[in-house]
């Protein structure tokens, strides 16, 4: 289950558990996929613990779109 924190209008932070990341290429692939979406402010994929921290504007991008981008890159988001 993703952990989400809403910082009021214009910004939310979420931590997603992502399986399948095992190297720096995986980190880059996930970060690039998410950064390509509108409204993404910051992305940090951590191979060590399989988590991805995302800061985003929920008026421009949804959690579903972020999840889909990660899954389209070939990784599985734990729900």
Which phi and psi (to 5°) does residue 20 adopt? 105, -10
Per-residue pLDDT of the chain (79 residues; tens, 9 = 90+): 455 555 556 799 999 999 999 999 999 999 999 999 999 999 999 999 999 999 999 999 999 999 999 999 999 999 8
> Closest Cα partner for 18 from 27, 10, 8?
27
How confident is the model at residue 1, as a pLDDT?
Answer: 46
The tokens for 17 are 């558990």
CA separation for the pair 79, 39 (Å, rounded): 22
Q: Which domains does the chain have, with CATH numbers?
A: 3-77 (3.30.70.100)
């Amino acid at each position: 289950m993703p952990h989400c924190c809403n910082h009021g209008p214009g910004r939310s932070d979420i931590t997603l558990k992502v399986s399948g990341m095992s190297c720096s290429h995986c980190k880059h692939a996930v970060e690039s996929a998410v950064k390509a979406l509108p409204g993404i402010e910051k992305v940090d994929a951590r191979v060590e613990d399989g988590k991805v921290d995302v800061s985003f504007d929920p008026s421009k991008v949804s959690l579903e779109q972020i999840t889909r981008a990660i899954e389209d890159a070939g990784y599985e988001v734990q729900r």
